[in-house]
Structure 1
Amino acid sequence: MSTTASLAAEDDLLARAVGDLATRTGLPVAFGGFERSNAVEVTSVVGNRTTHLAGLVVHADRGLGGKALVERRPRLALDYRSSRNITHDYDRAILGEGISTLFAVPVLVSGRARGVLYCGSYARSPFGEATARTALQVAADLATELRVRDEVSRRLALLPHTDVAAGDVATVDVAAREELREAYVELRRIGAEVADVGIRERLAAIERRLAALSHDRSEPASDLDVRLSPRETDVLACAALGQTNAEVAAALGLREGTVKSYLQGAMSKLDATTRHAAVARARRAGLLP
Structure 2
Amino acid sequence: MGAAPVSNESGEHLVARAVEQLTRRTRFPVAFGGLEKDGSVHVTAITGARTQHLQGLVVGKGRGLGGKALVEKRPRLALDYRSSRSITHDYDRMILGEGISTLFAVPIVVAGRARGVIYCGSWSEAPVGDVVAGPAFEVATELATELRVRDEVERRVSLAPVTAPIPVFGASAREELRESYAELRSIAASVEDAALRQRLEVIERRLASISTDAPAEPLSLDVRLSPRETDVLACAALGATNAEIAATLALKEVTVKSYLQAAMGKLDASTRHAAVAKARRAGLLP
TM-score by length of 1: 0.92
2:249 pairs with 1:246: no
Residue 197 (str. 1) matches residue 198 (str. 2): no
Shift of 1:223: 3.6
Aligned pairs (5 A) from 1:223-238: 223-225=219-221, 226-238=223-235
1:264 counterpart = 2:261: yes
Q: In the alignment, which residue of structure 1 is the partner of 2:126? A: 125
User: Alpha carbon RMSD of aligned pairs, Å?
Assistant: 2.0
TM-fit CA distance, 1:255: 2.2
* 8 Å contact from structure 1 (residues 29, 120) kept in 2: yes
Distance in structure 2 (CA, Å) of the matches to 1:223 and 1:235:
20
Counterparts of 1:116 and 1:281, CA distance in 2: 45
Task: Name the CA distance, whole Å, in 2 between partners of 1:255 and 1:180.
Answer: 26
CA distance in 2, matches of 1:6, 1:272: 34
Matches within 5 A, 1:4-153: 9-153=10-154
Aligned to 2:283: 286
1:175 positional shift: 2.0
**Cα contact 2:43–2:56 (8 A) shared by 1:** yes
Letter in 1 for 2:47: V
CA distance in 2 between counterparts of 1:246 and 1:125 reads 49
Structure-2 residue corresponding to 1:211: 208
What residue in structure 1 maps to residue 218 of structure 2?
222
Aligned partners of 1:77 and 1:103 also within 8 Å = yes
Q: Deviations over 1:88-122 (max 9, x none)?
A: 11111111111111101111111111111000111
Q: Given that residues 225 and 263 in structure 2 are in contact (C-alpha distance below 8 angstroms), is that contact kept between their aligned partners in structure 1?
A: yes
- Return 199-208 or 248-257, whichever deviates more: 248-257
Residues 193-220 of structure 1: CA distance to partner in whole angstroms, max 9, x if unpaired? Answer: 1121121111101100100111131x66
**8 Å contact from structure 1 (residues 224, 285) kept in 2:** no
Specify whether residues 7 and 96 from structure 1 end up closer, same or farther in structure 2 by C-alpha distance, changes over 3 A only. farther
* 1:30 Cα deviation after fit: 0.1
- Hey, what's the Cα distance between the residues in 1 that align with 2:9 and 2:275? 40
Q: Does the residue aligned with 1:134 lie in a helix, a strand or coil?
A: helix
> Matched residues in 2 for 1:178 and 1:6: separation?
21
> What code does the residue aligned with 2:247 have?
A
Counterparts of 1:20 and 1:220, CA distance in 2: 39
CA distance in 1, matches of 2:216, 2:156: 26
Residue 7 of structure 1 and its aligned partner are, at CA, apart by: 11
**Post-superposition shift, 1:6?**
9.2
Identity among equivalent pairs (%): 64
Per the TM alignment, residue 8 of structure 1 is displaced from its structure 2 partner at its CA by: 6.9
CA distance in 2, matches of 1:269, 1:92: 64
